[in-house]
């Protein structure tokens, strides 16, 4: 979301690594006890899952290319195909992400950037649905 008037990336504009770490940390604080999403995650890799999501989001929004360097191309559908993601799971993922985003003030993530981040999350959640209702 850089423009000639504002060459800064979204990653830089919202505070870089710390902000994306907060989004992901807030999300994963909810997942272990969640009845829909919790069982989808490997119980012995919470820290790894959190790290990978942080790398992915940071890279997508203009931060370091850590995800590609350590994991290769994101290929989200392919990486998630083994998990039964139906509409209910996608909506729950969005609910937990919304809860996490709502914990971060507008000074850190101004409305324009928050809207762009949220639209991306909605598209990603919809794209990952691989099971019928």
Question: Residue 87 sits in a domain of what CATH number?
Answer: 1.10.490.10
5 falls within a domain: no
CB 52 within 8 A of CB 20: no
Reported in sequence order, the residue ranges of 4-130 that DSSP labels E, i.e. its strands, are none
- Write out the residue range of the structural domain in which residue 104 sits: 16-127
Tell me the pTM. 0.89
Reading the block at residue 89, the tokens are: 């799971």
The domain tally of the chain equals 1
Q: What share of the chain is helix, strand, coil (3-state, %, to 5)?
A: 60, 0, 40
pLDDT string in tens for the chain (133-residue length)? 554 455 589 999 999 999 999 999 999 999 999 999 999 988 899 999 999 999 999 999 999 999 889 898 878 888 888 889 999 999 999 999 999 999 999 999 999 999 999 999 999 999 999 999 8
């Amino acid at each position: 979301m850089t423009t000639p008037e504002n060459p800064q990336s979204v990653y830089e504009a919202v505070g870089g690594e710390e902000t994306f770490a907060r989004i992901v940390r807030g999300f994963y604080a909810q997942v272990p006890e969640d009845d829909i999403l919790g069982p989808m995650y490997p119980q012995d890799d919470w820290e790894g899952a959190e790290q990978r999501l942080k790398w992915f989001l940071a890279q997508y929004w203009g931060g370091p290319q850590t995800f590609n360097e350590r994991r290769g191309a994101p290929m989200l559908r392919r990486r998630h195909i083994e998990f039964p993601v139906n509409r209910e799971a996608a909506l729950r993922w969005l609910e937990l992400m919304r809860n996490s985003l709502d914990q971060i003030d507008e000074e850190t993530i101004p409305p324009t950037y928050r809207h762009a981040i949220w639209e991306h999350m909605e598209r990603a959640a919809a794209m990952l649905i691989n099971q019928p209702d």
